[in-house]
Structure 1
Amino acid sequence: MMSIRTLRFVPLLLLGLTGCQDALDSVANKVEHPLPAKLVNKMKANDMSTRSPIMMRIFKEEGTLEIWKQKGNGRFDLIASYEICKWSGKLGPKFKEGDRQAPEGYYRIYPSQMNPRSSYYLSFNMGYPNSYDRAHGRNGSNLMVHGACSSAGCYSMTDEQVLEIYGFARDAFKGGQEYFMVEAFPFRMTPENMARHRDNEHFEFWKMLKAGYDQFELTKRPAKVEVCERRYVFNQVPQIENAAFRSTEACPPASLPPSLASAYSGYEKTWNQNFAKAVAKYENDDAKQLAAAQAKAEAEQKRAEREAAREAKIAANGGQSAPAVLSLFSTGNPLKALAAQPTPAPQSAAPAAPVAAETTMPADQMAVAADVPVPAANPLAPAPVVGATADSQPKKPLWKIWSRN
Structure 2
Amino acid sequence: MKLVLTFILVLQSISMSSSFKSQQLKYSRVREAYAEKENGILKLLDNKSIKIDELEVYLRAFKFGQKIQLWGKNKSDQKFKLIKEYKVCKKSGKLGPKRKQGDLQVPEGFYYIDRFNPASNFHLSLGINYPNQSDLFWADKTNPGGDIFIHGSCVTVGCLPITDDQIKELYIFCVEAKNNGQKKIPVHIFPAKLSNKNFDVLVSKHKEDQDKITVWKDLKSVYDSFNKTRQIPKVTFLKNGKHLIESKQ
TM-score (structure 1 length as normaliser)? 0.51
Cα distance change on mapping 1:33 and 1:74 into 2, 3 Å: farther
Matches of 1:125 and 1:81, distance apart in 2: 19
Counterpart for residue 16 of structure 1 = none
Matches of 2:119 and 2:190, distance apart in 1: 28
Counterpart for residue 171 of structure 2 = 166
SS at match of 2:189: strand
Counterpart for residue 22 of structure 1 = none
Rg larger in structure: 1
Q: Deviations over 1:302-335 (max 9, x none)?
A: xxxxxxxxxxxxxxxxxxxxxxxxxxxxxxxxxx
Counterpart for residue 194 of structure 2 = 189
How far did 1:66 drift? 0.6
Number of matched residues?
222
Letter matched to residue 226 of structure 1: T
Counterpart for residue 135 of structure 2 = 133
How far did 1:214 drift? 1.4
How far did 1:48 drift? 0.7
Q: Deviations over 1:23-57 (max 9, x none)?
A: xx9x6824644634343223113221123100000
Matches of 2:37 and 2:70, distance apart in 1: 13
Q: Is the 8 A contact 1:148 1:157 kept in 2?
A: yes
Counterpart for residue 55 of structure 1 = 58
Letter matched to residue 227 of structure 1: F
Cα distance change on mapping 1:224 and 1:122 into 2, 3 Å: same
Cα distance change on mapping 1:28 and 1:108 into 2, 3 Å: closer
Letter matched to residue 121 of structure 2: S
Counterpart for residue 119 of structure 1 = 121
Cα distance change on mapping 1:34 and 1:219 into 2, 3 Å: farther
1:225 to 202, 223, 235: 235
Matches of 1:28 and 1:217, distance apart in 2: 33
Q: Is the 8 A contact 1:147 1:158 kept in 2?
A: yes
Matches of 1:174 and 1:33, distance apart in 2: 18
Counterpart for residue 3 of structure 2 = none
Map residues 240-259 of structure 1 onto 2, 5 A cutoff: none
Letter matched to residue 158 of structure 1: T
SS at match of 1:125: strand
Matches of 1:127 and 1:8, distance apart in 2: 22
Letter matched to residue 201 of structure 2: R
Cα distance change on mapping 1:6 and 1:63 into 2, 3 Å: closer
Q: Is the 8 A contact 2:67 2:86 kept in 1?
A: yes
Matches of 2:164 and 2:35, distance apart in 1: 13
Counterpart for residue 234 of structure 1 = 245
How far did 1:135 drift? 2.5
Give 4+ residue runs of structure 1 displaced > 2 Å after superposition.
Answer: 1-11, 27-39, 71-74, 135-138, 201-205
Q: Is the 8 A contact 2:214 2:242 kept in 1?
A: no
Note the residue ranges of structure 2 that are not aligned, 5 or more in a row.
Answer: 1-13
Q: Is the 8 A contact 1:35 1:168 kept in 2?
A: no
Cα distance change on mapping 1:28 and 1:79 into 2, 3 Å: closer
Q: Is the 8 A contact 1:31 1:116 kept in 2?
A: no
How far did 1:134 drift? 1.5
Larger relative contact order (CA 8 Å, sep ≥ 6) = 2
State, as a whole percentage, how many aligned pairs show the same letter. Answer: 29
How far did 1:75 drift? 0.8
Q: Is the 8 A contact 1:34 1:167 kept in 2?
A: no
Counterpart for residue 79 of structure 2 = 75
Counterpart for residue 93 of structure 1 = 97
Q: Is the 8 A contact 2:33 2:169 kept in 1?
A: no
Q: Is the 8 A contact 2:109 2:215 kept in 1?
A: no
Letter matched to residue 184 of structure 2: Y
How far did 1:168 drift? 0.5
Counterpart for residue 381 of structure 1 = none
Counterpart for residue 88 of structure 2 = 84
Matches of 1:77 and 1:114, distance apart in 2: 24
More strand, by proportion: 2
Map residues 6-405 of structure 1 onto 2, 5 A cutoff: 9=24, 29-30=31-32, 32-33=34-35, 35-51=37-53, 52-71=55-74, 73-110=77-114, 113-138=115-140, 139-199=144-204, 200=206, 201=209, 202-229=212-239, 230-235=241-246, 260=249
Matches of 1:78 and 1:159, distance apart in 2: 21
How far did 1:6 drift? 6.0
How far did 1:203 drift? 2.9
Stretch of structure 1 that moved more, 124-133 or 226-235:
226-235
